[in-house]
Amino acid sequence: MTSRQARGFTLLEVMVALAIVSIGLIAAFNAVIQMAHSTSVLRERALADWIAMNQISEIRVSGDFPDVGSFDGDTEFAGRDWRWEATISETGVTDLRRIDMSVAFEERPDDAITIVTGFVTRRAADAPAHIDWWGAGTSLVEGPGEEAEPPPEDEQADQPQSRRQTSSERRQQRATEEEQE
């Protein structure tokens, strides 16, 4: 008579394998939770940075040279209420001030999410009140609601063209040149 030996896993081997798999799944689950939390924190910090940079930009473009001290405000951004605080300090350089802008959630104003530092200078009396974003050299808008007179046509011809042509304008120009030939 031949005896057959049973082949398979013992209960102990199955229990050890389940323990190893469960430890691996728990570690993977914790990694996913940590990644989701990090993404949320980074999103909040990016939004707070934008708010701080917007507030610093508003101070810069207002044209007012801020006094040393602190002031704060609230804003709604990305569907959430935020609290910001600006601290203006001397820099040791004449006509230059440092702005430290801290941003927090409105419900926890003492727990700053970010602090952004910027600088503002006193604008010279002869400095233009507008920012020439497109590099045109002249602006038809002087300030809010005020329009400047366009330069005379003989001056316009002397000014360089800083605006790039669109593809349709280039095609039209080529077609005109081909017709002339």
119 and 43 share one domain: yes
In a domain, 111, yes or no: yes
111 and 142 share one domain: no
* 161 DSSP 8-state letter: -
Residue keyed to tokens 């389940």: 18
In a domain, 55, yes or no: yes
Number of domains the chain contains? 2
150 and 136 share one domain: yes
pLDDT at 136 over 70: no
- Residue 156: Cβ within 10 Å count: 10
Segment among 6-10, 26-30, 79-83, 119-123 with least mean pLDDT: 6-10
What are the pLDDT digits (tens) for 49-107?
Answer: 999 999 999 999 988 899 999 999 999 999 999 999 999 999 989 889 999 999 999 99
What pLDDT sits at residue 120?
93
* CATH code, domain with 100: 3.30.1300.30
User: Binning pLDDT at 50, 70 and 90, where does residue 153 land?
Assistant: low
pLDDT at 128 over 70: no
pLDDT at 145 over 70: no
What pLDDT sits at residue 131?
60
User: Binning pLDDT at 50, 70 and 90, where does residue 160 land?
Assistant: very low
What pLDDT sits at residue 63?
82
Q: Which residue has the higher pLDDT, 152 or 85?
A: 85
pLDDT at 2 over 70: no
136 and 118 share one domain: no
Last residue of a domain, one of 110, 126, 142: 126
Percent of the chain with pLDDT over 70: 72
- Closest Cα to residue 82, out of 102, 62, 98, 59? 102
Segment among 74-78, 115-119, 151-155 with least mean pLDDT: 151-155
22 and 94 share one domain: yes
42 and 122 share one domain: yes
In a domain, 73, yes or no: yes
Domain containing residue 23: 11-126
In a domain, 180, yes or no: no
Cα–Cα distance between 161 and 135 in angstroms, integer? 10
When pLDDT is averaged across residues 15-35 and rounded to a whole number, the result is 96
63 and 107 share one domain: yes
Cα–Cα distance between 45 and 52 in angstroms, integer? 10
Q: Which residue has the higher pLDDT, 175 or 21?
A: 21
Termini Cα distance of the chain: 108
Q: DSSP secondary structure string, 96-140?
A: EEEEEEEEEETT-TTS-SEEEEEEEEPPPTTS-SS--TT--SS-S
Classified as helix, coil or strand, 149 is coil
In a domain, 38, yes or no: yes
